[in-house]
Amino acid sequence: MRLAAAVLATVLGLAVPAARATAQAGTPRKPTLVVLVTIDQFRADYLDRFGPQMTGGIARMMREGARFTDAHHDHAITETAPGHATLLSGRFPRSTGIMMNSIGVSDPSKPLLAGAYGMGASPKRFKGTTLADWLRAADSRSRALSVSMKDRAAILPIGTSKSDVYWYSPDGLFSTSSYYRDSLPAWVGAFNDRHMAQGYAGKHWTLLLADSAYHEPDSVAVESSGMGFTFPHDMPTDWSEAADIVRTTPFMDELVVAFALNGVEALQLGKGPQTDLLAVSLSATDVIGHRFGPDSREIHDQVLRVDRAVGVLLDSLFKLRDPSTVTVVLAADHGVGAIPELAPASVQPRPQRVDLRKLLGPVRAGMAARKLDTLTIDIDQNLVFIDRDAFKRANVNADSVLDALAKTLRSTPGVARVDRFPAILADSLRDPIARRWAHQFPANVPIELIVTLTPLSLFGGIVATHGSPYDFDSHVPMIFYGDGVKPGLYTQFVRTVDLAPTLAAIAGVKPTERIDGVVLTQAVR
């Protein structure tokens, strides 16, 4: 891992009438508030699978917005950090510099502000600009607020912009790092003093609807690693434990929405005349999906609950601001694959849980026999790195070692293909898997081999996860709604990099750099 690391280094009130799609007849006007709602690990098929039971904000957006049914993250490592970095930048991970979670936002030099628990964080690895910068370039009065449970999900949507960016600490506080400010503003302190997270102590996550509304069995022992896999799911009675455990429940989304709404009022976002930006990332679906899998009763209930949470967000925003001046887009940072052991029989070859690092043993033994430092070759999940200079100094042919390792990797159950990185770049026009790898990394990154697993195979022992170039991980919702949006159902293939330029067009601004996405003009009124 050393070599890989070195290389890659109670919320507001009642519902109000739905937003009008545009301003009144006359000169078009730009929105005063653009809202990005990202649901972490929300697969696109959830919209149709659970849509008939939805009654909240997602249901409203599906009915009245511009929904793209074939929207994808068109990159290969479909993880939280690359996905969030893509949404408002309009650029693939190869351009944002956020190529995987490990190249995310961790930054010990930028500690959290006093009172919060967690590692320091900043966008120091993010390259380029985002919609927040484009809006500010057009009008210096434009402001942005980004909030999430996760630091990377709060930071990366708006890039390096020194805006109001906050995330949740396991001790029950929303905080930020010294990259953004020296002390928490009064409104954040006042919200933290309400101790909403601690208020969930002793509560229970029970089914939102009657038991008969759920077709999934509640007795699947492979879920949650065989522990606590049935309803109800109880919160600790200790308030400090509850503030930590709340992150693994639907209640976390309620907290993030409440905090975001407080921020909108405190910062007076959306009052114009400039266009302000609100980014809200809801993370509970990700945590629940990893623990129970995407086909569990728990994820079914969570989808219904996050739909209602988005409804609270929209209803409250539209009470605070004129709905005709607000534009909203719903998306996700990635999808998720089924639990391998529960994959349908039609999935062949059968999915595997893969650990490639154990294959390095024989390779390193041979290297040691030739007096070559064994750490000059490493595997970081999909990627193989070597120190070519070290091989050259030892007079060892690096390519012969790589060829032998690639042969071993290809014979490993769960591995679909092993490619030399330059070859993948050359074949990206004809090969969709190669295309997504080409979008992941710039050509000058010294990756030697790229390993693509078979569908639904995964690294490690996590119950269910994501991170592959397959459609079950890349296919996400994309729904535009409100001011400047032309409602409709659009079935053509689009990419998440198209989201930012489309919002920019609606807001009447232009990207300040070259981007990968295009404006989805069919959805722009």
Task: Spell out a b/e string for 211-222, using b for 16 or more CB atoms within 10 Å of the CB, else e.
Answer: eeebebeeebeb
Is 29 a residue whose pLDDT tops 80?
Answer: no
For the chain, the helix, strand and coil percentages under 3-state DSSP, each to the nearest 5: 40, 15, 45
- Report the C-alpha gap between 510 and 507 in whole angstroms: 9
Strands (DSSP E) contained in 44-134 are 66-72
pLDDT tens-digit profile of 248-277?
Answer: 999 999 999 999 999 999 999 999 999 999
Is 453 a residue whose pLDDT tops 60?
Answer: yes
pLDDT tens-digit profile of 331-358?
Answer: 999 999 999 999 999 999 999 999 998 9
Is 17 a residue whose pLDDT tops 60?
Answer: no
Is 26 a residue whose pLDDT tops 70?
Answer: no
Residue ranges of the domains in the chain?
2-202+218-336, 353-459
pLDDT number for residue 8: 52
pLDDT number for residue 13: 34
Q: Does domain 2-202+218-336 have CATH number 3.30.1390.20?
A: no
- Report the C-alpha gap between 470 and 65 in whole angstroms: 27
Query: Are 2-202+218-336 and 353-459 in the same CATH fold?
Result: no
pLDDT tens-digit profile of 201-243?
Answer: 999 999 999 999 999 999 999 999 999 999 999 999 999 999 9
Confidence of residue 157 (pLDDT cuts 50, 70, 90): very high
- Report the C-alpha gap between 29 and 132 in whole angstroms: 19
Is 477 a residue whose pLDDT tops 50?
Answer: yes
Peptide bond into 232 cis (omega under 30): yes
Least confident of 174-178, 442-446, 509-513: 442-446
CB-CB contact of 145 with 267 (8 Å) = yes
What share of the chain has pLDDT > 90, as a percent? 88
User: DSSP letter string over 381-398?
Assistant: TTEEEE-HHHHHHTT--H
As given in the structure block, the two tokens for residue 358 are 């154990």
pLDDT tens-digit profile of 85-139?
Answer: 999 999 999 999 999 999 999 999 999 998 888 999 999 999 999 999 999 999 9
Is 11 a residue whose pLDDT tops 90?
Answer: no
Residues contacting residue 4 through CB under 8 Å, at least 6 positions apart: 102, 378, 379, 380, 383, 385
CB-CB contact of 39 with 285 (8 Å) = yes
Q: Please provide the average confidence, as pLDDT, over all residues in the chain.
A: 93
Give me the architecture of the 353-459 domain, per CATH.
2-Layer Sandwich (3.30)
